[in-house]
Amino acid sequence: MSHGPSADPQRDKLVPLVAKGTSYDGSIHFRGALRLDGCVSGSVRGSGILFISETANVTGSVCVDQLVLEGQLEGAATVANDVILSSGSNLNGSLKAASLRLEEGASLSANPLEIGAQTA
C-alpha cells in the first residue's frame, strides 16, 4: 500500500481537529470519528475511530474503539477493536487491542503487546 492519502473515504471527509503544522497539549475527548494532522501531547479518548494522519505526531495515551495510524504514536494505546498501522507509520509504546493489521513498511515497537485482548 502506498504512503499518502488514505483510501478510507470517511477519513478524507473529516476536518482535522489539530491541523498540520499546529500543536495541542492536553486531553481530547470525542465521539464518532476524529482526524489528527498535527502534533498532540496528552491523552486522546473516544468512542469511535481515530485517524492519525501521516503528518501527525501523538505523544501520550490513546483509548479508542478503532485506530488507523498513518503517522507517529508514542505512548500507550488501548483499542477496543481494530488497529491498522499503515505503511510509514510508527507506534512506539504499549498496545492492547482486539486485532492488529500491520502493513508493509509500518514500524511497531510495543511492550507489552496484547492482541486479541478484551479492553472493556
Instruction: Decide if 34 is inside a domain.
Output: yes
Number of domains in the chain: 1
In a domain, 3, yes or no: no
In a domain, 107, yes or no: yes
Q: Which residue range(s) make up the domain with 35?
A: 9-20+30-115
The answer to whether residues 95 and 119 touch, using CB atoms and an 8 Å cutoff, is no
Q: pLDDT tier at 120 (50, 70, 90 boundaries)?
A: low
Tens digits of residue pLDDT in 27-61: 999 999 999 999 999 999 999 999 999 999 999 99
Residue 2 domain flag? no
In a domain, 102, yes or no: yes
Using CA of residue 82, residue 85, residue 86, residue 87, what is the dihedral sign?
negative
Query: Residue 9: what pLDDT?
Result: 56
Q: What is the tens place of the pLDDT at every residue in 11-29?
A: 566 767 888 999 999 999 9
For residue 4, is pLDDT > 90?
Answer: no
Rounded-to-integer distance, Cα 105 and Cα 80, Å: 24
